[in-house]
């Protein structure tokens, strides 16, 4: 376990102990639709793309198959990478998938057009180093995208009732746009943008911890339907906070930070 991490390999090996369905993720689930919308804005065919914390491989497989990018993935869970490779083989997708620690990665700096992670940096007590690694792996002009669950407001209050232990695995101190933007490494010269994003997503709430399975499943179905039909983002109900960084060649004085308040 990394001294700065709030989770360890054993935790993630248990999470990825079972192989997921051998398909690309469906946009019929709000959680995935939100992610797909973000990625469609950033990825174009032929880009060199890296996902940090890529297990179980479904998002990266979708980026390769649908957005036609040249993909690489990294995860330090052995089971997670094994499952990711099985998925890629089943779908006939090629990708450079490596099981290693991001803090000792063999991927070379300055080689990717786009580097992303979903639900990763909030599992560190001080995420500044891992955010800096995202940016260091970019080519000049490349873009990094990181999202974290928005447990600062409504989702956090509800999740605290259903599963307060889960919140201890997350760094709640960074869950606002200004704190998130402050994690960016100023010495790497970039544009920074931090903002809430997405339609209503009850996947952030562990209903099953206190409710019977049939009720929890029914609630998840209802909220997913509402999220799919929601015509626009409602800031208080956005399930994601996004940190977007573009690495540029400019003076430090040209760095631009935008972090709208919630």
- Per-residue pLDDT in tens (0 to 9) along the chain, 262 residues: 455 676 766 776 777 777 777 888 888 999 999 999 999 999 999 999 999 999 999 999 999 999 999 999 999 999 999 999 999 999 999 999 999 999 999 999 999 999 999 999 999 999 999 999 999 999 999 999 999 999 998 999 999 999 999 999 999 999 999 999 999 887 665 689 999 999 999 999 999 999 999 999 999 999 999 999 999 999 999 999 999 999 876 444 443 444 443 3
Q: What is the CATH number of the domain that holds 232?
A: 3.40.50.150
Residue 1 lies in a domain: no
Kindly report whether the global pTM for this prediction surpasses the value 0.85: yes
Q: How far apart are CA 128 and CA 113, in angstroms?
A: 21
How many whole angstroms separate alpha carbon 16 and alpha carbon 212?
Answer: 24
88 within domain boundaries? yes
Q: Is residue 42 part of a domain?
A: yes
**Residue 135 located in a structural domain:** yes
Domain limits for position 162: 9-258
The reply to whether 4 falls in a domain is no
Is 244 inside any structural domain? yes
Is there a domain that residue 241 lies in? yes
Q: What is the CA radius of gyration of the chain?
A: 18
In a domain, 2, yes or no: no
Count of domains forming the chain: 1
């Amino acid at each position: 376990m990394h001294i700065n991490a709030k989770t360890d390999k054993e935790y993630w090996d248990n999470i990825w102990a079972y192989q997921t369905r051998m398909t690309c993720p469906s946009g019929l689930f709000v959680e995935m639709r939100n992610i797909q919308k973000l990625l469609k804005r950033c990825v174009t065919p032929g880009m060199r793309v890296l996902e940090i914390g890529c297990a179980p491989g479904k998002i990266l497989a979708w980026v390769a198959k649908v957005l036609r990018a040249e993909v690489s993935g990294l995860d330090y869970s052995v089971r997670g990478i094994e499952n990711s490779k099985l998925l890629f083989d089943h779908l006939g997708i090629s990708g450079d998938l490596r099981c290693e620690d991001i803090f000792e990665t063999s991927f070379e700096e300055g080689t990717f057009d786009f580097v992303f992670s979903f639900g990763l940096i909030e599992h560190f007590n001080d995420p500044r180093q891992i955010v800096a690694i995202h940016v260091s792996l970019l080519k000049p002009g490349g873009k990094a995208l990181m999202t974290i669950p928005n447990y600062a407001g409504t989702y956090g209050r509800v999740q605290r009732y259903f599963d307060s232990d889960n919140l201890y695995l997350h760094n709640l101190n960074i869950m606002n746009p200004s704190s998130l933007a402050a994690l960016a490494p100023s010495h790497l010269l970039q544009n920074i943008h931090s903002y809430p994003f997405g339609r209503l997503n009850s996947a952030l709430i562990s209903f099953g911890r206190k409710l019977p399975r049939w009720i929890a499943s029914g609630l998840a179905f209802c909220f997913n339907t509402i999220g799919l039909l929601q015509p626009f983002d409602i800031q208080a109900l956005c399930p994601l906070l996004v940190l977007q960084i573009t690495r540029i060649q400019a003076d430090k004085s040209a760095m631009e930070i935008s972090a709208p308040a919630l």
